[in-house]
Structure 1
Amino acid sequence: MHRHARTPRTLGAGIAAALSLAALAAYVAPTATATAAPTATADTAPAQAPGDPVPGVVAGQDTAAPQLVTGLADPAPGNPADAARAHLAAHRDRYQVDPAQLAEAGTESAPDGRRTVRFQQNEGGVPVLGAQYLVHLAGDGAAQHVESAGGKYFTGLTAPTAPTVPDDLLRTAALGALPDAARAKATADDAGLVILPDGAGRLTRHYTVRGAGADGTPLTRDVYVDATAGVVALAHDARTPSTATAAARPEAVAPNAAAPDPAPATVTPATGTAPDVHGKSANVNIGKLPDGTYQFTDLTRPAAITTYDAAGRDVGDFGTIPADARPASSPTPDFPAATGTDGATDAHLNAGIVYDFYRDRLGRLGLDGKNGPIVSVVDVTAGGRPYPNAYWDGSKMIYGSGNDTYYPFSAALDVSAHEMTHGVIANSANFAYLGQSGAMDEGLADYFGNAIEVTTRGIAMNDPRAALLGEDLCRTGTPQACATRHLDDHHTTVDDYVGASLASDNGGVHLNSTIFSGALWDIRRTLDPLTADRVVYRALTEYMTPLDDFVAGRNAVLAAGRADGLTRAQLRTVAAAFDAHGIKAGWQHRLGLDSRTLLRDITSTMAAPVAADGHWVMLGNTDATRRTTALYTGTVTGGGTPVRLSPDDGRYHSWAATDGTSAAWLAVGKDAQGVFGFEVLAAPLSGAGPVRSAYRSTNQQPGNIRTAGGDVAFTLRDFATDTTRVHVVHADGSPETVIPLPVGHHAAGLDLSGGVLAWTEGWMSGQDYVTAPTAYSLAEGKVTAQYVPADPKNLADSVHLAGGRVLWVQSPAAGRATIRSGALDGSGVTDLLPAASTAPEPATLTVSDRAVTYVSRTGRVTDNWTNAQTAKLWQLPLTGGTPERVSCDRGSQDAPAADRGTRVVWLDATAGRTDLVTRERPAGAQCASESAPR
């Protein structure tokens, strides 16, 4: 039921200073797969019959393995797992799947006797993120046969399987994925090696990183660090809690943390009474202890249900249940009023209701399908303050204490059912919690949360309350005003999809959830509700896989419907519901853009463009198979074929800079002699000249690379001596310029132009960290300007040179950031952008000879054109003035790079993937209304 809330922008770590997480959308939220015409061979599955809405064969995305094959009747006798593996082996031409690379991940048995065998793809024993292939069997004994198969299996992966970077460096990089304020007591738990299936694949080490925000709320991120380069390849928030207020947004505390045995043998079943959150007495199943006291342990079902009362303790204490924590208790079977006001009674009763729904209606035995214990914790706080939230943390439900506006979050049955459904999802499809797959995770939790409430309460599907989620949470106000989401908001892909980067709501997991859940809710309105519930549940548990997008979800529901015996007319009704919400193949191509695309479907998570004098440079994938990622350059006008700059030497080439004539970048990895190191390379953009080495080291990581007139500048930091040096390697072969900073001083945000260097110099002054924009003349060999802030808490970032001045973003200790400019001699400080509502974000400033472009998040959360959850680009003249929107594209606009004049390139996620796009001039006032170009 989560309300979307702003995620702090956290980029990469170590040398990945410019890591853009928006690029990940290319494979976690891929373009819609198209139904493929099957090849005419004897081993091809039959195509769908005319008029049959269930696809026969759906081609995979960037893989030879089909996503879905239906309409089969191939004999497969024997043990289901062995029979499924043998079937894939016997039909390798059909599936392009190597059974030797599959590990059995479980078998799901449906109430009608059908079995689904789920396999995890491994490469050299290393699991591939989200890669699962499923085989569906029906019949028994000799009559057992395969009805369908499909999922995600990535062919053509060539990633190494042995790490080359020491574990301590990988762990340090993982910790860097948390905001600075959260790192003080952060931990990074090693979850093992994982191959990311982007391009040819990347070997990473997966860490679960945990820290605490400045307000004490816990933060948890899944971080994947490249095990051959030591840089963050992917980082995203763990499954987030239900959020009633944008200010409160802690993350899951400890996924999969084991809870103590909630029902020791000494507890015997009993019954009692307890008040609910509204003071109404309810009958409860409880447990009696040997000392004669009672606790909230329900032993009347195969899955023991236990509810703990945190009694106001901090949410961070309950990653695992503390040894001194006890279930809600009472000296008599009649529990006191506090049990209700804390939300314990409602949580306890709701857990039983949800268990019964899944068992009696859908045949599922508990959240894990195995009658595992169901544990809830109520009345937690955050940093000593009320905590209006609820979430599933991987093993249990956590419910906040509520506040003056909201009841404890267990007060709403649909909220409890939503969170517990996340447990069902985690033990079945286990969606990657980002992009479209994360939006499906939220959408399915919404669907079953509401389905459980309307079924239990006897609410008709046409009742206005039926489609509301969380409408019972508010102490005052109408249900419509209180509800956090509306499943009947009629959102569609083309009109409402918000292409968000991972810095915005984990790629739009809440922003876009009702597109999918709305389609499912329409199906429930049209079909018999029980039939709809069974079909959607079967799709979730038997057909969906972790990296599915909306169209894959549609195909899964249709396939599940056919397996469940829906008529052709009913299947057409299901298809029509998805059509009405725009969930059909190719929907991304119907999104209107006012920008010009330069490079499509960027798969690398290391991508961040640079531009100058009519040329762009960035990581891209331009070969037909999208398996090769390299550093490319092209023209900003979009003409011609991109030119590859980086050599094919097995190293990672990124963190580029350009002056429009040449490029400089960093290569990380083993050289031809097998020695790991860091090398700064440079080459002309024509691609015709040699690639030259400007610097090489086996132990020091160059950062902040810049180039101008062939000169290459970068910084080197020595952590052992706490010193930083700025280096300039000259194109004419003259001696290298080395500028040592005082001990304890460090440089960031380097720029180089016209013989002048600029950087942000930072150092500790007492208890404060001071950041001062600094200008250095190469000809004079000295600092000519350093803008030390009057208040050391006012931090400077993103320093640039343009128009003979230094420009930077100034972030005050309180209030909004501004864009500031100063002369190269230290005089004439002016504010180009006063503290306006479109305040720039640090490290997002880019400048040309005429304009300043920056990223800001502003606008109304409910307005998809100015959505406050997604980054938008703004531009103003170099001399100051009124900012204008660069583009009306409604998705995330990240990593801007100014060219010349008002032209800018950026990474745009509007279409549900990451594209490099450009505009010549700001779109301006046309973005102010819903009439903006679509």
Structure 2
Amino acid sequence: MSRTRQHVRGSRRLATTGVAVSSATLLAVTLSPAAHAAARPSRSAAVQHAAAALLAHRSSLGLDSGEATSVRDVIVDKDGTQHVRYDRTYHHLPVLGGDFVVHIGADGGYRGADRASRATIALPTTTPRVSAPEAAGLATKALRAAHPGGGLRRVEAKPRLIVDALHGTPRLAWRTDAAGLDSLGNPVARTVLTDARTGARIDAWDSIETAAGDGRSLYGGTVPLETTQSGSSYQLKDPTRGNTYTGDAANKTDLCIFGICISRAPSTVFTDADNHWGTGATADRSSAAVDAQYGTNETWDYYKNVHGRNGIAGDGKGSYNRVHYGKNYNNAFWDDSCFCMTYGDGDGTTFGPLVALDVAGHEMTHGVTSKTAGLTYSGESGGLNEATSDILGTMVEWYANNPSDPGDYLIGEEIVRPGFGGTALRYMDKPSRDGSSADYWSSSVGNLDVHYSSGVANHFAYLLAEGSGPKTINGVSYDSPTYNGSTVTGIGHDKVGRIWYRALTAYMTSSTNYAGARTATLDAAKDLYGAGSTEYDAVAAAWSAVNVN
């Protein structure tokens, strides 16, 4: 499973800078809930406070006169603490690894910052020696090399000049998006980072990230749906969730080059005469649509009701779904360029239609990540990116509490078929059960495919939720080991979801690695439950149990 991503391997997350502001009062004042609400800063006020902090702390944040910033995301805590996330440019060029989060106290004072990179940017020139066509040619070769079976067609590449601050000393680089269609007409894409002075490849990663009324769904039984009446029929469009809708892609595919789509597969909104959708069988094309719409609804509700996030981007706007994409397409993906979810039907041998609830939660969480931490999709940060979708997608499944698809710690268990060779795509209690994923951190884990390096964080999340050793939960047997032979006691999946989301949105950056994730989740646990709390200590113990110390 995957989604469209735009990231590269990151450096280690840095510790918070600056001095924490403390204060003491002689008189404790109890405020009413209304007074607390009134005192809570607005988003615009948070941005103003952060802007003032930038001016006062430009040097410590590594900003010089040639650099500019733009706000990507804003979080205002209930206690008034503010977290403003920035992207950076250098002489108008985007900076990979230039992102940072500024933390502001309830009093408007600067608390510190988390930065993707501390490197100072001082390029001798922003004029490349390697031409744009040369960079495009290198990326095209990289795309073809990543798909050695051949048969790629309509391959194009678009280079963009950037500053790379994620791979050591900042340097001028070409970021080139190469895309095409495989022999079945399905989209393939790869992003290649090339040194603009020498032509050496810096990094490369896949740009399509995959996984994979009421309605009778394929996997979730009969589920409630909010729809829109249109004349004498109904549209599968939910006005209560930002007008999210589900459409039929008619087994066609997109033709998109570096974010610009020459043509897109259709997304014709499903309609129904009596507002009772699907039959629960694949023969009825609307059955898969029911699953997709239901997955969108549950994901929306989870983020809103548990984390206070109003939609994937936090702006109340709905995304849309396309089902029946491509021919026997064994994939599902989130695409930022269309702000949409797309599902293949599977080949019937290894996968069925990829519209299961945890797949939907997984893919749409990629959208949340892209709007917040923007975790680079390679190296350890790429593993954390995938794990974020596995962890929070799993939390969506638990949140839905659907008796036809009860909560578990298996990824994609509903979509796999006997020909797949297992009962799920991934196993959080012992990731190595899939034959490729890492149970524990090692210095080489960043060299694994991100779907396998994610195992370390998935294992951490399972241990933190349920603890170590054998147990049966909702009829599924688990037996989770630990690297150090310790016994870990779980704190429950609800708290795990809250801690991980807080870490993702308040502390992680594009370059966060496993050591940084430990720090970020400890910071999150401290915020939510207090330093030295049972939850805080459990986070530390679970990370140590997967060899992240």
Give TM class, smaller chain.
Answer: 0.7 to 0.9
Match for 2:162 among 173, 188, 193?
Answer: 193
2:16–2:112 contact (8 Å) kept in structure 1: yes
SS at match of 1:155: coil
Shift of 1:457: 1.4
CA distance in 2 between partners of 1:578 and 1:152 (Å): 21
Q: TM-score, normalised by structure 1?
A: 0.47
Q: Deviations over 1:283-316 (max 9, x none)?
A: 42222334x3332111123x22111112333465
CA distance in 1 between partners of 2:492 and 2:540 (Å): 16
Shift of 1:332: 4.1
Match for 1:274 among 204, 210, 215?
Answer: 215
Match for 1:553 among 494, 504, 517?
Answer: 517
SS at match of 2:519: helix
1:404 lines up with 2:368 in the alignment: no
Match for 1:115 among 79, 82, 92?
Answer: 82
Q: Which residue of 2 aligns with 1:374?
A: 319
Match for 2:236 among 289, 296, 299?
Answer: 296
Q: Which residue of 2 aligns with 1:104?
A: 70
SS at match of 2:451: coil
Structure 2 CA distance for partners of 1:420 and 1:279, relative to 1, 3 Å: closer
CA distance in 2 between partners of 1:277 and 1:493 (Å): 32
Q: Which residue of 1 aligns with 2:35?
A: none
Match for 1:517 among 458, 477, 490?
Answer: 458
* 1:117 partner letter: V
* 2:137 partner letter: T
SS at match of 1:347: helix
1:330 lines up with 2:272 in the alignment: yes
Q: Which residue of 2 aligns with 1:483?
A: 424
Q: Which runs of 5+ in 1 are unaligned?
A: 4-24, 34-59, 61-65, 244-271, 585-934
Higher normalized contact order (CA 8 Å, seq sep 6+, divided by chain length): 2
Q: Deviations over 1:6-42 (max 9, x none)?
A: xxxxxxxxxxxxxxxxxxx9x9365xx6xxxxxxxxx
Structure 2 CA distance for partners of 1:583 and 1:323, relative to 1, 3 Å: closer
Structure 2 CA distance for partners of 1:345 and 1:70, relative to 1, 3 Å: farther
CA distance in 2 between partners of 1:239 and 1:500 (Å): 22
Shift of 1:538: 1.1
1:74–1:146 contact (8 Å) kept in structure 2: no
* 1:370 partner letter: D
SS at match of 1:131: coil
1:174 lines up with 2:139 in the alignment: yes
CA distance in 1 between partners of 2:507 and 2:397 (Å): 25
Q: Which residue of 1 aligns with 2:9?
A: 28
Question: Quick check: which one's helix share is greater?
Answer: 2
SS at match of 2:517: helix
SS at match of 2:225: strand
Structure 2 CA distance for partners of 1:422 and 1:127, relative to 1, 3 Å: same
CA distance in 2 between partners of 1:150 and 1:458 (Å): 38
Total equivalences in the alignment: 482
CA distance in 2 between partners of 1:500 and 1:558 (Å): 22
Structure 2 CA distance for partners of 1:564 and 1:146, relative to 1, 3 Å: farther
Structure 2 CA distance for partners of 1:182 and 1:487, relative to 1, 3 Å: same
Structure 2 CA distance for partners of 1:334 and 1:565, relative to 1, 3 Å: closer
Q: Which residue of 1 aligns with 2:386?
A: 442
1:158–1:200 contact (8 Å) kept in structure 2: no
Match for 1:566 among 524, 527, 530?
Answer: 530
Q: Deviations over 1:598-657 (max 9, x none)?
A: xxxxxxxxxxxxxxxxxxxxxxxxxxxxxxxxxxxxxxxxxxxxxxxxxxxxxxxxxxxx
* 1:563 partner letter: D
1:120–1:133 contact (8 Å) kept in structure 2: yes
Structure 2 CA distance for partners of 1:111 and 1:476, relative to 1, 3 Å: farther
Structure 2 CA distance for partners of 1:353 and 1:166, relative to 1, 3 Å: same
Shift of 1:376: 0.9
Shift of 1:572: 1.7
- Superposed, 1:123-142 pairs within 5 Å as 123-139=90-106
2:119–2:165 contact (8 Å) kept in structure 1: no
- Superposed, 1:427-826 pairs within 5 Å as 427-457=371-401, 466-474=408-416, 481-489=422-430, 497=442, 499=444, 507-525=448-466, 526-570=490-534, 571-584=536-549
* 2:451 partner letter: H
CA distance in 2 between partners of 1:222 and 1:163 (Å): 19
CA distance in 2 between partners of 1:342 and 1:209 (Å): 35
SS at match of 1:355: helix
Q: C-alpha root-mean-square deviation of aligned residues, in Å?
A: 3.5
Match for 2:334 among 370, 373, 392?
Answer: 392
Shift of 1:454: 1.6
Shift of 1:366: 0.6
1:207–1:222 contact (8 Å) kept in structure 2: yes
SS at match of 2:180: strand
2:278–2:286 contact (8 Å) kept in structure 1: no
SS at match of 2:240: coil
* 2:275 partner letter: P
Shift of 1:342: 5.2
Shift of 1:490: 6.5
Shift of 1:569: 3.0
Q: Which residue of 2 aligns with 1:613?
A: none
Q: TM-score, normalised by structure 2?
A: 0.78
1:196–1:204 contact (8 Å) kept in structure 2: no
CA distance in 2 between partners of 1:287 and 1:70 (Å): 51
Shift of 1:230: 5.0
1:277–1:342 contact (8 Å) kept in structure 2: yes
Q: Which residue of 1 aligns with 2:366?
A: 422
Q: Which residue of 1 aligns with 2:297?
A: 352
1:70–1:148 contact (8 Å) kept in structure 2: yes
- Give the percent of matched residue pairs that are identical in Structure 1 and Structure 2: 26
Structure 2 CA distance for partners of 1:327 and 1:497, relative to 1, 3 Å: farther
1:390–1:397 contact (8 Å) kept in structure 2: yes
1:473–1:482 contact (8 Å) kept in structure 2: no
Shift of 1:137: 1.8
Q: Deviations over 1:751-801 (max 9, x none)?
A: xxxxxxxxxxxxxxxxxxxxxxxxxxxxxxxxxxxxxxxxxxxxxxxxxxx
Q: Which residue of 2 aligns with 1:307?
A: 246
1:2–1:510 contact (8 Å) kept in structure 2: no
1:236 lines up with 2:202 in the alignment: no
Question: Quick check: which one's strand share is greater?
Answer: 1
Q: Which runs of 5+ in 2 are unaligned?
A: 24-40, 467-489
1:107–1:115 contact (8 Å) kept in structure 2: no
CA distance in 1 between partners of 2:340 and 2:178 (Å): 19
* 1:114 partner letter: T
Match for 1:84 among 25, 30, 50?
Answer: 50
CA distance in 1 between partners of 2:47 and 2:10 (Å): 30
SS at match of 1:409: coil
Structure 2 CA distance for partners of 1:300 and 1:85, relative to 1, 3 Å: closer
Shift of 1:453: 0.7
* 1:289 partner letter: S
2:46–2:74 contact (8 Å) kept in structure 1: no
Shift of 1:317: 8.3
Q: Which residue of 1 aligns with 2:178?
A: 209
SS at match of 1:177: helix
CA distance in 2 between partners of 1:201 and 1:234 (Å): 14
Shift of 1:153: 3.2
Q: Deviations over 1:680-734 (max 9, x none)?
A: xxxxxxxxxxxxxxxxxxxxxxxxxxxxxxxxxxxxxxxxxxxxxxxxxxxxxxx
